[in-house]
Each structure stands twice: as structure tokens, then as C-alpha cells.
Structure 1
Amino acid sequence: MVLGMRYLIAQAYLSAVFMVMVGCSPSSVPITSIEPQPISTSTEARREVTAAVTPTTSSPTAPYGEIGGRLTVVVEADTAHLDVQQDISETLAARGAGIAYSRLMRLKSDPGLDQPNLLVECELCTEWELLDPWTFRFKLRDDVRWQNVFPVGGRRLDANDLLFSYTRQSTEGWPNAPLLKSVKEIRVESDGEFLVDLNYPDADFLLALANGHSKIIPHESINDETGRFQGPVVGSGAWIWKSSSPGVGTMLERNKNYFEGELPFVEEIVFQIIDDFETQVAALLADEIDVLNISNDGWEILQSYSATPRTIYSKQSGKGIFIAFNTGLEPFASIVMRRQILASLNPWVYVDDIWDGQSFVSPGIPVIESSWLMDREEIETLLRDPVSSVPASFVITVADFGDIYLDQALRIQEDLRNTGFDPILDIVNPIDYAQQVWVDGEFQMLVGPMPPNSGPNGFLFPILHSGGEWNLLGHGDDELDLLIEKQHMELFDSQARAESIFKIQRHIVDQAYMLGLGDNVDRWVTNDEVRGFYPNPALSEYSFWSKVWIDG
């Protein structure tokens, strides 16, 4: 079962990794995680759960802006088809036809919010309530209509549309089904209200609903006999799909009847396919495009022109490049050895020298709010090791996602040699890396990404829990397991869960299991007329596109 699950996840990864090899940046790998069921929590963890949970209400409000113009955004990958529920493509979900759809929940992406964050708010709902640890009640807006496009024809969206969408998404074997793995049953109470019964308490359930792949689609777009998507793309979102052309891109226009006030602020949004870094930069400098999620290689090209475009940064935790150890193999079964390795490195210098200051050091766990991250001083204190190093030879498996990953690995190798170690680099292409590291678990020390995930529990249970499907660290750690189980049972007690996540981070660093140190910040460049652009692309979020406007 473990090998089978790992194989499925690796296959989802490998289908996307090809895009990296032909030009996509590591930060834009279009992957959706496939996650196992959470492990049954211990009796001790369950005893510490607080039963009372306060329901939360969210009422979206539209920001200010000006209406008009066309926004042109660069994408690097094409889409194979338009069925959002049978595809893991980031382009389709968040930078293409998929932004025509609404979701029940979404991530916040306002200018005043620090990142990384996975804070959720209602989109189609007016409020939600946790009736007990296994049951949610959702109340829907009464002013949402499907776009007035055949064959849907502008009818009102109701709870049965959500039942249909989530049921189809959950089809066994489909790539986005694992997002709803905790759902036992959906019960429609009325057109504007429904209940969700869970198989087990799930602290990240709202994140699954907010994920950019959990879209609400109309049944009219699906063939009744075959269950296949027959089109066209008709949503209830801010954008109306107009066209998608292979090798060209996707065009959408403003939905004038969108239920959130004046949103969106531009008349058209175009996602234009340009997969060559030189061409991307040339198009930006010629004002032929407005927004570019620029790769590290593209940034170097842009700097060679001494250009200074508007630059925006978005942070994501739980992604990027990690240092991690296989504690099931020598020499890293020894905590002393692991601590000495990390004490020999200076990840903050790497951030400045290699990542141009556009990364951050953390234990690597996805967090709901930026305030949940450990600060530098505490990490440095835990990493400090006064014991002199013991000479050892070992292999560092390095994921080859381009020159900057190799530069990082070479710098680590140099620093370790300077302190008496003898590390040997094994440079592995992305496809072999997924198989060798994630599926087979064959490494001593790694410098590369962890498996994709969709939130804190999607990282903690499969990767860090001793009984997890992945357990890449190869460890058995009862204390860590209990902490992971406890935070999972704290549900929506934000303060209690934050404290537990802090304890988990401290434990990870204290035990010198792993460290996240690079490629966890997306760099966006825009032309001078773009305003209101505050991207939070975590979990394939896309609502921020509707809040952008053109000044001039």
C-alpha cells in the first residue's frame, strides 16, 4: 500500500516535471498533492482536545479600483484539455480557463496580509459552522448565478451544484479526489444550505475547499451518459471564458454580473504562453505583457538589461529546496552527526548569496499564518553545536532543477569540506529524483524538494509522522508523532494549534531532521501601469487576478 501510494504521487509529479525540464521554473511546477489518510491519533492526544469550537463568519467585500483595459500574463505551460477536475495543471487551475469557476472557500490575498499564509474566507458561502468535530454546515449566498452562457443560461447556483461538483471531483482515481478524502457524505438541506459529514476530524478541511482545484462546475457541462466534460467552460466566477488555443494561451473577459460588486477591474485577462526566458523578458521590456512570474534564470537575463520593473514577492511555506537526512541510514542515525552538519552551514548567507535575498529559512512546514514561523534567532540557537565535527564521508542527493540548485549544493559541499567532512554530490534529474528519493527512499542526505502537499496536515502526516506513507526521514519519534496528532485535533482553535506547530518546528530543528532554505519565494515583475496586484498563489489560488487594475 505504501509503495502504491508513493508510486501514484510520483506519477503525478513526473507528469508535471517534464514542464520543468523544458523551461518552467521550479516555483511553478504544476502539481496537486496526493495524500494518504491521516493516521489514527493516540489516546493521549485525544484527551488533550478542547471540544468547544467557535464558528466563524466571513463576508467578502470588494476593494476599490478602476475598471477597464486588458491584463496580459505570461504562462509557460500549455493545457491538454479543459476538464479542471481531471487535471493537476497549475496553468489550467489558476492561470487559464479555470479562473472562470468559483469555489466555496478561497485564500485571502489582501495587501495587508503577511506571507506565507493560508488564511481562508468565504466565496460562495456567507458563513460556515462546525456543529461537532465531524460536521460542517455551510450557508450559501443567494445572489450567485451561473454565467449566461449556453447550456447553463444564467440559472441560480444552489447547494445541489456543490454536491454535484464535489461528488465528481471525488471520483476514485482522479487526481484531485484526495483533496476531499475526509468527506463521508454531503447532505443538501435546502437550495442555500448543506451539511458535510467527515470520516474524521480534519483541521485542514477548509483548505481543501479553498484549494484552486476544488472548483464548482455546472452539471450541464458534463455528458450525462459518459460523465465526461463536454464543455463549454461556464462558471460563476469573476471571468467568462472566451477561448483557449494550443501554443497561444487563454482569453477571458470580465463577468459584468459577478456577485462581488465591481470586480473584476479589467475588461479582459489574457494568459499568453511564452516558454522561453529571453522572449519573456523581451516581451516585458517592450510592454507587450503586463505580469511575469519570473524564474531565476529569467531574472538574471532581466538584470543584464539594467531594467528596474515593479517587483512583487509572494512567500510560500512547505515548498522549495530542503536539506534533510535519512535517519535510518548511517551516518545520520546519529543526532550528533546531523547537528554537526547543520552547524557547519549558514543558510542565511545562502539566502543572500545564492537566492538574492528572495527566500527564507524555516523548518519547512506549511503554516496558516506567517506568525506561526520560528524566527531566525531561535533557529540559530538550536542549530548551534559546540562539539567539533567528526570526519565522515556520505552522499548528498541533489535535485537538478537548474543551475541555482546546483550552485546551492556546491556551496553546501564546500562548507562541509571546510569543516572536515567528505560529502559526495549525486546530481539527479527531477524524474529520477522523485523515484529515487520519494518512492524508494534511497538517499543519505538530500538537497531538493519534498513531495507536494496541500497544507500543514498534508505535510506533517505523510512526511514527518513515523507512521506516514512517506516518512522520508526514516525515523521513529513518539514525541513528534504525539505533537502532530495533537495539532490535528485542535481543529479551529488557532492559538492552540499555532503553539503546537511551534513545538513541532522546534523539535524538528532540535533533532536536526531537516531545514527549508531556498526557492520558497515567487518573484513577479509587472509594467508600470499595473496596480492592486497582491498575489498569494499558495494552493493554486487565483482570486487576486480580479483585484488588479490598469492605471492609464
Structure 2
Amino acid sequence: MFYIKLLIKLSIILATIGLVACNTENDEVSVATPNSTPLVSIPVIIPTPTLALEKELERVQTKNVIAHIPQGTLSLASPKNPEHFDVHEDSSDSLLSMGPGISYSRLFRFNEFQVTCDICIEWIQVSDIEYHIRLREDVFWHDKIPISGRKLIAKDVVESLNRIKNNDWSSSSILNSLDMVEEIEESKVRILLKYSDADLLMRLAHGNIKIIPYELQSLKEGLRFGPTIGTGPWIYNENSVDRFEFTADPNYFEEGFPKVQEFFITPVSNENTRIALVLSEKVDISMIDYWSTKQLLDIEELELDVNYMYSSNDKPGNHFSHCSLNILPCIDINPNYSKGVLFAMNTSVYPIDDVHFRRYIFSHLDLNSYDSLSIGLPLYSKSWELSTKSEDTYTNLPELTKSKNYDLMNSANFERIDHTIDFYVGDYGDEYIDLGDNYFKMLTDAGFKIQYNVLNPKEYYQKVWIEKKYDISLGPKIPIDIPNSYLYGLLHSKGEYSINNHQIDYLDELIELQNSSNINREKHIIDIQRYILGQAFLFEPITDHVGLLIGEKIENYNPGVINTRNSESWHWSELAVSN
């Protein structure tokens, strides 16, 4: 009966969503990915202590474990096919985390908000710019020609990192702080940086930074069409047709993983079809976008804290429940920090160059309606999140309260209010236009003279991000999911995409101070966010989220297990299915 009700609800949902104006084929932000993120000189930072994984080292050496036998078949409906199979050249999740790219390993991987070793056993920070990374001794390539199951060695790592670093791909910008990578032992590599980088391990854990066999890196035809030979938990079937087929690697180095024997990923462009496939139990998991997730959960906004989600008893009429309620099928939610809507102001032009005037603009945008006001910074830790409902945060600062009573009797202030402001909105979909229309109405109702301009994506990118010839803007942010790349690239005065066009030394100093792995980084990150909001530079009204429709066959699903940030893919190995 429950299944029949869900199918009935699906037909209602598909009719009401319509199915969401921004469908899968058109929902990607079409702005260029930065090729590099310029940084400035950074003070020397005290090295962090050695991070040794003693327990894992003991396990690898003793091998005193009980063998696990993977069982069952896991299936996923992904949004689209990758353009090709080269995991260094292509940065799409359709390849890296939902395609053949899941066959590869990395030096590190993400475990929720933490970075842990993947094919490494330990790492040592020798100085602020030097790292030594020791590899596991039990990692072997998949038994496919021409590699034939040989052992992973340091040369594979060195050649892989150099291949990424020395090319002009979007993935190359992830490793822009690397100066040199070299082999110092058969299972040990040395990394030298151009400057201190607190995000190095996060960069090495990114889904683009796959380790591939050194023999394949010299192929004249490249890796766009395979072969796909990795050391990850999944062996790719090169003869797959219409879907990507994987089998569990019997020699995988992580005991107990993957949980299932087979994994099938089917690209399905139509989101309605992906939803229906889960409800009809044809697939176990489906990816759905931000806007459809809101519709399916019947809520107005998505938040990082899932504890607020309504149960069917709290709010009758919900189409689906959040996975925290342990009712399947359910929807889990992942923030996608690399995508979002950004409202920004150009601090170098009149009348926006005055901080009090900018605050006056902010004070009319209903910012108090946000539980957590973001500057678009990718969050490495939940402790970095700035709650804007507490006493000492931006929406309750005296400066904003006073901004509502902007002194219009002052002739200089009156002239600013009377000056025409160009408001550029990027036409990246109905959601951008709707939000731009709302802000336009709020500002005109408050007495501002606004020249409202909707620009096509090419015009918007050129005027706002390249020429910086705008007053206020609303559009997608540059797709960056590494904190330092965002801070130095978008917020530092010398950044290539310094959208606010500011020349404030204090903010630059804050950004440089946070570039440390010590305990004070969290404080500096909070200070930066408060300063950006206090100066009314920019904010992110919408952070993109990825919805995951989880089917009934997934066993003991825990919310947050599937982590889509930074093109992570390890989570597929943790899922088990019922027979």
C-alpha cells in the first residue's frame, strides 16, 4: 500500500513541479573555471605535528582480519554521461564520482568534513612548505592489461600529480600551490610548495586528483577513451553498454569494502524518469537537483542542519521525508559549495564605495530571514559556519540596525540615494530572474534608483567577473570548492576574480592569517566572514544542494553517508543492499 501511495504521489509531484524549470540538461552554471588562483606572500607558519595512522599501519602489517564477501547489486541513476574518460582533464561529477572515475584512488579522501588517508599510511609536515607522504604497501592495480595487477609505487603518484600540475586543465588550478613532487623511496613521496597552503590535503583529496598508472600517462592517444585501470574498490567493465558496470575488487586494500559485489550506474537525463526509477525499484538511488528537492520535500528552503526537517506528523501533505526519519524511500541533502547564487557590490564605484551606503542597501534585502547568512565560502568544518541568529553576528550588529535610519539629511548621503545604480542579473535560469526581481522591488520600494539589467551568461561573466564594470550584481559564483582558492581568488584584493574590487589591507591580512593549519584558523575564518558581511561586500542568498532519493533496498542508511562535495566517491563502497 505504501508503494502504491508513493506512485500516486509521484504523478502529483511531476504535475506540480512541471518538472522544475531548470531541468538537468540546463542546470549547470556556464561560467569559466579559473585556471589559476593568484596568491601573495604568506608568513611562515609553524609546522603541524606528524599525523601517523598507527592502528591502520598495524592492520596492514599483520593482515590478521576476517575476509569480507561483497553481496548484492547497487544501482544509481545519474544525471548525464561524461564527455570522455580522462579523470585529470574532465572535472565533471558524471565522470569523477558517478562514472568510471570511481575505479581510481587518491592520496587522501574525504570522510564527512575530515580528510583521511586513502592510499597513504601517514604524512609528515616537515616545514611550512614541505610534506612527506608514505604509501600503503598493500595497494595493487586492477588486474587488467597492460598493468596486470602490479603494486602501486611512488612513481605512479609523482607522475600523476605532475601530469595534472603541468597541464592547462581546470584540475590544474587545484594544485596551483605545488612546486615540486618527487620520489624519495619506492613507497614515499616528497612535496614542495610554492608557499604555505593550509588546504594542501584537501586539494590532494579532491576527486580530480586521481592516481593513475605511470605507464598509461605516456599514451599518445591519451586516456579519453580508456583504459580505466585504478586501485579503487571498483573494477570497471570496459565492455559496458548504456551504463557503467563495476565489480568489487577482490584485492582491494580496505578490508570489508565495498559492501556489494556489483555496482551499475545508468545516466538518465530526465529527472522525472530518475525519480520514477527509484519508486519502481528499478534503481536504488537517484540524483535530484536543488529545486526538485524543495518540491519533493514540500519546503521553502534547504539548510545544512537537517534536524529541522518536518516529519509527516508535523506537516501533513509532505511528498517525502528526510532520511533522518529512517523511512524509505527518503531524500538526503548535500550542500554543493562549488555552486550558488552570489549577490555582490563593487566597492570601487560611486555610490557603492561608501560602507554605510552599502549597509543601507543590505538592510533592505530581508537578510534576517536567513538562519545562516553565507559569503559563499566552502566550509571545511561545521565550526566555520556563521550563525546569523546569535547575538553577536551580522544581522544584529549595531551598524545594520542603524543603517535603516540612514542620515538622508546629510547632503552627501542624499546624493548617493539619488544616484542611479546599475543592477546586473545573470540569466542563468528562472530562479536567478525571480530572485533578481524580488531584490529589485525591495530596493525600489526603499527609494533607490535602480537600472535593472538582465544579461545573458556570456555578457554577465564578461562585465562582472572580467571587466568588473558593475554596481551591484546577482548571478552564479565561480565554481570553486577549496577554501583558500575562494579566499585568495575572490576576496583578496590581488585575486584574479576579486569581485568586490576592494583595496583593503586589513581584509588581505585576515585572509593571509587564516592560511594555517593551527587552531586559530577557525577564528580567522569566522572573522573574515563577519568582516565581509559587516562591510556589506557580498552574500550568498542560495547555496546549491544536491538531493539523493534513497530507495527501499538500501540497508541501514545513515543521513550524510553520501558526501558529494569535492567529487567524492568513497561513499558508494559503504552502502549495502538487501537481497
Fold shared by both chains (TM-score > 0.5):
yes
Single out whichever of 98-107 and 173-182 deviates more from structure 2: 173-182
Alignment correspondent of 1:202:
197
Work out whether 1:103 is the aligned partner of 2:76. Answer: no
The correspondence of residues 362-373 of structure 1 with structure 2, limited to 5 A, is: 362-373=374-385
Deviations 1:191-211 (A, max 9, x none): 221211122222111111101
Instruction: Measure how far apart 1:98 and its partner are.
Output: 0.4
- Contact map agreement 2:72 2:261 (CA 8 A) in 1: yes
Distance 1:244 1:509, change over 3 A: farther
Alignment correspondent of 2:82:
79
Give the residue type in structure 2 aligned to 1:191: E
Q: Separation in 2 of the partners of 1:539 and 1:75?
A: 17
Q: Separation in 1 of the partners of 2:224 and 2:446?
A: 59
Alignment correspondent of 1:458:
485
Deviations 1:122-178 (A, max 9, x none): 000111010011110111111111111111111111111101211222233233222
Q: Separation in 2 of the partners of 1:126 and 1:31?
A: 36
Alignment correspondent of 1:219:
214
Structure 2: runs of 5 or more not aligned: 1-20, 60-64, 299-316, 321-328, 407-413
Work out whether 1:440 is the aligned partner of 2:435. Answer: no
Distance 1:67 1:396, change over 3 A: farther
Alignment correspondent of 1:498:
522
Give the residue type in structure 1 aligned to 2:394: I
Alignment correspondent of 1:468:
495
- Contact map agreement 1:222 1:231 (CA 8 A) in 2: no
Distance 1:324 1:245, change over 3 A: farther
Q: 1:275 aligns with which of 269, 272, 282?
A: 269
The correspondence of residues 144-223 of structure 1 with structure 2, limited to 5 A, is: 144-223=139-218
The correspondence of residues 460-539 of structure 1 with structure 2, limited to 5 A, is: 460-488=487-515, 490=516, 492-493=517-518, 495-531=519-555, 532=557, 534-539=561-566
Question: What TM-score results when the alignment is normalised by the length of structure 1?
Answer: 0.84
Single out whichever of 128-137 and 196-205 deviates more from structure 2: 196-205
Greater gyration radius: 2
Give the residue type in structure 2 aligned to 1:369: S
SS at match of 1:271: strand
SS at match of 1:384: helix
Instruction: Measure how far apart 1:65 and its partner are.
Output: 10
Alignment correspondent of 2:284:
290
Instruction: Measure how far apart 1:66 and its partner are.
Output: 9.0
Distance 1:199 1:260, change over 3 A: same
Distance 1:244 1:205, change over 3 A: farther
Instruction: Measure how far apart 1:349 and its partner are.
Output: 3.2
Paired residues in the alignment total: 506
Distance 1:239 1:429, change over 3 A: farther
Alignment correspondent of 1:11:
none
Alignment correspondent of 2:400:
384
Deviations 1:265-284 (A, max 9, x none): 12222222221233223323
Instruction: Measure how far apart 1:361 and its partner are.
Output: 2.5
Alignment correspondent of 2:50:
55
Distance 1:281 1:85, change over 3 A: same
SS at match of 1:98: helix
Deviations 1:513-547 (A, max 9, x none): 01122133322221122244612222111111111
Q: Separation in 2 of the partners of 1:66 and 1:295?
A: 34
Q: Separation in 1 of the partners of 2:572 and 2:31?
A: 18
Q: Separation in 2 of the partners of 1:259 and 1:296?
A: 36
Q: Separation in 1 of the partners of 2:512 and 2:239?
A: 45
Instruction: Measure how far apart 1:461 and its partner are.
Output: 0.8
Q: Separation in 2 of the partners of 1:480 and 1:282?
A: 49
Structure 1: runs of 5 or more not aligned: 1-19, 110-116, 352-359
RMSD: 2.9
The correspondence of residues 354-433 of structure 1 with structure 2, limited to 5 A, is: 360-376=372-388, 377=390, 378-382=393-397, 384-387=400-403, 388-389=405-406, 391-392=417-418, 393-433=420-460
Question: What TM-score results when the alignment is normalised by the length of structure 2?
Answer: 0.80
Instruction: Measure how far apart 1:548 and its partner are.
Output: 1.2
Q: 2:369 aligns with which of 349, 352, 362?
A: 349
Distance 1:225 1:420, change over 3 A: closer
Deviations 1:97-137 (A, max 9, x none): 0010000011113xxxxxxx3x2110001110100111101
SS at match of 2:24: coil
- Contact map agreement 1:417 1:423 (CA 8 A) in 2: yes
SS at match of 1:385: helix
Alignment correspondent of 1:336:
356
SS at match of 1:289: coil
RCO higher in 1 or 2 (8 Å CA, sep ≥ 6)? 1
Distance 1:429 1:70, change over 3 A: farther
- Contact map agreement 2:260 2:577 (CA 8 A) in 1: yes
Alignment correspondent of 1:357:
none
Aligned residues: percent identity?
28
